[in-house]
Amino acid sequence: DADVTQTPRNRITKTGKRIMLECSQTKGHDRMYWYRQDPGLGLRLIYYSFDVKDINKGEISDGYSVSRQAQAKFSLSLESAIPNQTALYFCATSDNRAPRGNEQFFGPGTRLTVL
Amino acid sequence: TQLLEQSPQFLSIQEGENLTVYCNSSSVFSSLQWYRQEPGEGPVLLVTVVTGGEVKKLKRLTFQFGDARKDSSLHITAAQPGDTGLYLCAGAKVDSSYKLIFGSGTRLLVRP
C-alpha cells in the first residue's frame, strides 16, 4: 500500500472553477508539503504544514489555499483556477523526529489541466 | 532567492557508458539530497549528503558533496536502461533545513 496517496490522479477543469486536491499519508509524519512541478523548473513549494495548527506559505502560494484537516490529511485548493496553474502537483511528508528530518517522501502526483 | 542549477538538462547515452550530473549553487546548504523520478510517479529519495567532501556510493551511483557544501555531483558507472529517469538534486537551507530548494532536474535516457 502506498504511504502517501493523492486524489485525483488526473483532473481537467475550466478557468474559474474551484478545485481541491487531496493528500493522505499513513507514515505518521508530522510535516506535509505541497509542490508544483513544471517542465524545466523543478519542484516549487506552495505551502507546508508542521502540524494541524501550523500552516505556512511557500514560494508560490498566490492563487492557492490549504487545509490540514488532520495529521494525516493535507488538501490544496485552487479557488478560481487559471490556465497557468496547469502543472503536476505533488504532496510530500517528512518526519521531524528523524535524524535528518528534511528527507521527504512524495505521493504519486496529480496532473491538473486548466482549460 | 537560492537557486540550484543542474547540468546537463538532458542526457542520452548508450548502455554501459559512464555519466556525471552536476548540481551547483552560490549558496551553502546544510545537506543535499538526490531524488529520482520516473514517469507518473513522485520523486524517490536516493541519498542525502551532509558533510563537505562527503562521498556516498549506492551500487553503481556515486554521490559527492562539495567541500564548501555549495555543489554536488552524481556519477553513474556503466549505465543501464533501468537508470532512465529524471534526477533531481535538492538542497536544505541552513537556517530552515526543512525547506528544500530543488534543481530543475536532469532527464537521463539510457538506450539499450
Determine the pLDDT at residue B67: 95
- Cβ A106–B99 below 8 Å, yes or no? no
Express as a percent the part of chain B with pLDDT over 90: 84
- pLDDT confidence band for A13 (50 / 70 / 90): very high
- Cβ B45–A103 below 8 Å, yes or no? yes
Express as a percent the part of chain B with pLDDT over 70: 97
Determine the pLDDT at residue B37: 95
pLDDT digits (tens, 9 = 90+) for A16-60: 999 999 999 999 999 999 999 998 778 999 999 998 999 999 999
Determine the pLDDT at residue A102: 80
pLDDT at B2 over 60: no
Helix and strand numbers, DSSP H then E, in chain B: 0, 11
Determine the pLDDT at residue B94: 79
**What is the 3-class SS of B48-94, one letter each residue?**
EECCCCCEEEECCEEEEECCCCCEEEEEECCCCHHHCEEEEEEEEEC
- Cβ B41–A108 below 8 Å, yes or no? yes
Q: Between B37 and A42, name the one with better pLDDT.
A: B37
Would you call B55 an interface residue with chain A, using a CB distance cutoff of 8 Å?
no
Would you call B21 an interface residue with chain A, using a CB distance cutoff of 8 Å?
no
Contact in structure between A103 and B48 (CB atoms under 8 Å): yes
Determine the pLDDT at residue B84: 96
Question: Which member of A31, A100, A107 has the closest CB to residue B50?
Answer: A100
Cell, residue A24 = 493522505
- pLDDT confidence band for B72 (50 / 70 / 90): very high
Would you call B82 an interface residue with chain A, using a CB distance cutoff of 8 Å?
no
Contact in structure between A88 and A111 (CB atoms under 8 Å): yes
Would you call B105 an interface residue with chain A, using a CB distance cutoff of 8 Å?
yes
